[in-house]
Chains A and B, each alone.
Chain A
Amino acid sequence: MAGSSLTPTPHSIDISLTGRCNLKCTYCFYANEMTALTDLPTDKWLACFEELGRLNTMEVTLSGGEAFTRRDLFELIDGVIANRMRYSLLSNGTLITDQVLARFDEGKRRQRLNSIQISIDGSRAEIHDASRPKSFSRAVRGLRLLKEAGFPVTVRVTITKHNLHDLENIAALLLEDIGLPSFSTNDAIPMGSGCQNEAEVALDSHEQYEAMQIVGRLLERYPGRLNAQAGPQAKIQMYAEMEHARRTGEKTTRWGMGRLTACGCTFSKLAILHDGTIVPCNMLTERLGNITTDSVHEIWHTHPVLTAMRQRRFIPMQDVLGCADCEWAPYCNGSCPALPYTLYGDFNRANPHDCYRRFLQEVGHGVSA
């Protein structure tokens, strides 16, 4: 076992049920896999859910592609439920209608639903559609239907060059007009189609800083109603904690500063691509096996790649390529390994998109809380 916090089996699994999607978003991190792999049929997924049930996995997140393009989606959801799991759905929202929502009323489909997340990237069609083509009105209609029907609906806004200056309007649409309790943000990263379209969609360091300032203002206006695991809002917190630690010597306990501790997912999670390929994360697609031929339990405990990923937390930042001479190394954790894996084929590198030294060099000043 790579660390004492390793759970005996995965708590949760992120599952891409299909490579089909009715949209073609400019920053889709999954675009390459969508075209390269084929969908597993229903019976293989149902067998997979049985295995996860035997492993006492507690929840799955179902996405795609677009999960609602699968005709058997509700049969698959029933398979999740029959195996004592809860589930969440990630969707572009455009295929959600009253008829679709009515199908959640059967059995425990609604009771076991943790959340359904819709992506909204603009307050109006011209902005949303710049990254999510021809979909604004259908996405907002789906979102409103879910909200009005009392579903546990959440929204993710991916911040890009297109919507940076629309964030305040997006917040007003989501929090005031539609009346969501909160929404989350991240930003486009150069993976999948985001790689080909990086110059057009991804924020540079100056835009990152501007996004941080806008999000900061929004948090003053809507306290506690914006959240983020990645992107500008998460970086405000991370960079401010690095500054604080360097100034005072008090290191946060939220992550292990000074070592490659991000992220901890491999201690409690796995992901499965739509052809059954088992991977550490649906953004870090190093092949570990396939659910049609390999045991999830065995992979979880013995696969050398997972073991190596769990060992990252013992690597000092000073030993990481490109970080040896960095004065921030004692306070940095290298951030998400998916991007360095995609760029360099090496997850034991720091994520250049989140590098504070680079941010300081490019922006010219730091970040405070």
Chain B
Amino acid sequence: MRYLQNPDIVVREEPGEVWLFFDPDTNQRRYSNAVGASVWELCDGTRDLAQIVVEVCAAFEGAPSDQVGADVRELLQNMEADHFIVRAD
């Protein structure tokens, strides 16, 4: 299953390498780190979980792939629950 960003979501890089995700429809705000921001960037409708994990591992060299896989899965679940992303298929 591939993931796609909700186009209404605002993502802001804030001071201190923190990313703020803002849903203007609900006023929900969530903070994330650089990994969350890259996962979000990769949700362009062309990639599934496995592909996103591969790309995040490449971007964050040295990170253990099992751990990255678990973290990315959790991030995607949370982002989907918050309607920050939707399923593209």
Contacts and interface: CB of A to CB of B under 8 A. Distances in A.
Interface of A: 4-9, 11, 56, 58, 81, 84-86, 108, 111-112, 114
Q: B interface, how many residues as a size bin?
A: 10 to 19
Contacts of A84: 8-10, 24
Contact of B12 (A5, A9, A85, A86): A9
A7 B14 contact: yes
B27 A108 contact: no
A114 B15 contact: no
Contact of B10 (A4, A6, A58): A58
Given A84-B8, A84-B10, A4 B27 contact: no
B25 interface: yes
B16 interface: yes
A108 B25 contact: yes
Given A84-B8, A84-B10, A5 B25 contact: no
A148 to B, nearest CB: 23
B25 A4 contact: no
Interface in B10-46: 10-16, 22, 24-25, 27
B25 to A, nearest CB: 6
Contacts of B14: 7-8
Contact of A112 (B12, B16, B24): B24
Nearest to A80: B24
A84 B26 CA distance: 11
26 contacts: A4-B15, A4-B16, A5-B15, A6-B15, A7-B14, A7-B15, A8-B12, A8-B13, A8-B14, A8-B15, A9-B12, A11-B12, A56-B11, A56-B12, A58-B10, A58-B12, A58-B22, A58-B24, A84-B8, A84-B9, A84-B10, A84-B24, A86-B24, A108-B25, A111-B25, A112-B25
